[in-house]
Chain A
Amino acid sequence: MKKRTQFEWLGNQELMIVQVKINGEVEMRMALDTGATQTTIDLNMLLMEGISLRESVGQQAVETANGVVMADIFLLSELHFAGLTLHNFPVQVIDFIAHSVFSNYGGYLGLDVLAQKDFCIHFEDCSLTFG
């Protein structure tokens, strides 16, 4: 069944922001990024759960607008977005503060989540049909 969810978009100079819940308890605003193959979460969001870097299951190099950085890989027990729940889902984790990302969102939702279903972006009413 298709699920329609709202996103925030304040115009051409801004990103599309959606709401995501991870591990059943941490809710956050994330930027919708159809140009990213993998979902990336700010380390500070994981710190809210008391998760430490020791729980990383690996690392990988990531190309960003500021060059190549090393991202830690974490397995989320649960990622919930627009009616979809993914279990044991791997995400890249980068310390936004250390990489000078001073944003008011907690990460980038990439194609690894969006491609789980068909999706359609409706800019007229800032909604996303997903399912």
Chain B
Amino acid sequence: MTWEKIQKDFPNEWILLGNPEWAGPRVVSGVVLFHGIDKRIVCMEAPARRTGFKTITAVFTGKSAVASHSGLLRPIGKL
């Protein structure tokens, strides 16, 4: 299934993908093995569902709930 179709069918969910195809750091397609809104539950399903797949990944179809700022200094809003 293509990434565009996955995003359309499972908006704002974590997706467990088998044999993902990548273009650089972006997933372009893969086999949907499991999906849900809880990252932990989706990741914990992997051992039971990965049989027969060479590689697996877990990816989020939406944008991060918060901006992905990181590092020692990061914005906390306007003072």
- Give A contacts to B, CB under 8 Å: 5-8, 13-15, 17-19, 21, 25-29, 31, 33, 35, 44-45, 47-50, 65, 97, 102-106, 108, 126
Contacts and interface: CB of A to CB of B under 8 A. Distances in A.
A113 to B, nearest CB: 15
Contact of A108 (B65, B67, B69, B70): B70
Interface of B: 16, 20, 22-26, 39-40, 43-44, 46-47, 50, 54-60, 62-74
Contact of A15 (B55, B58, B68, B72): B68
Contacts, number: 90
A87 B2 CA distance: 32
Given A19-B22, A65-B74, A48 B59 contact: no
A14 B47 CA distance: 32
A19 B64 contact: no
A27 B55 contact: yes
A44 B66 CA distance: 19
Nearest to A32: B25
